Amino acid sequence: MLDLMLIAAASYLLGSLPTGVIVGRLARGTDIRKQGSGNTGATNSFRVLGWRLGFLVALVDIAKGYAAVALISHISLFPGSSPPASAAFIVASLAAVLGHVKPVFVGFKGGKGFGTAAGAISAAYPIVAPFCLVVFVITLGLTGYVAVCAVVTSLALPMIYFLTALLFGLPFDPVILAFFAAAFALTTLGVRKKLGMYFRGEAELFKSVMLLRPRRR
């Protein structure tokens, strides 16, 4: 129990590092929380700082989730009595994403946590990550909206996990499958307002990456 508490605390602090705020201030002398959507994540960084700096923010945000699972989740105060790997993964992932969404260092207002979640999953299940990336990229090309991509990818995640375990003979854990299914519900809940904006035609789309760009009215 103490190990899981330590993992949660360390992962949360790592996730709380406000990458977008730091990059914006160092590179442009600007606070991205006062521009665009006001979020500190990669999506708003792309809009406010441009694609190069936005890509850098995305990479670091992904790295936060990756490090939380690959490194922090293996911390143990009492060697020989480590928590189950599935529990450590779930705690580290959730804590890192929570840190990104509600960062303690910048007034508990961060991003949506998609990149951090992707990094966490990549660390624990690297064979799943490329398939999820394909789903994300295709959806982005069709919709131009990251919130829709996040929902579609999180919907595909438990199915991809199940199929890769079945096809490649990898270990399968029903607890992880249930966690991925719950992640879809949490993702949908977290972006429900943005989904509403998208379906009402009020969302700001990344038209430059869309395969079928909407016609001008």
Q: Where are the domains of the chain?
A: 1-124, 126-217
CB-CB contact of 107 with 32 (8 Å) = no
The pLDDT of 17-41, averaged and rounded, is 93
E strand or H helix at 23: helix 19-28
Percentage with pLDDT > 90 across the chain: 84
Q: Which position has the higher pLDDT, 78 or 126?
A: 126
- Return mean pLDDT, the chain: 93
Q: Which residue has the tokens 């991509």?
A: 149
Q: Who's near 172: CB < 8 A, 6+ residues apart?
A: 162, 165, 166
pLDDT in tens, 135-186: 999 999 999 999 999 999 999 999 999 999 999 998 999 999 999 999 999 9
DSSP state of 38: -
Query: For residues 71 and 118, what is the distance between their CA atoms, to the nearest angstrom?
Result: 16
Please state the pTM of the whole predicted model. 0.91
Mean pLDDT score, 28-50: 92
**Confidence class of residue 217 from pLDDT cuts 50, 70 and 90?**
very low
Which percentage of the chain shows pLDDT scores above 70?
A: 98
In this predicted structure, what is the pLDDT of residue 6? 94
Q: What confidence category does residue 45 fall into, taking pLDDT thresholds of 50, 70 and 90? A: very high
Q: How confident is the model at residue 209 (pLDDT cuts 50, 70, 90)?
A: confident
Question: Which ranges of 33-173 does DSSP label H, i.e. alpha helix?
Answer: 42-49, 51-70, 85-101, 114-124, 128-143, 146-168
pLDDT of 127: 95
**Are 104 and 15 contacting, i.e. CB atoms less than 8 angstroms apart?**
no
Note the pLDDT of residue 113. Answer: 92
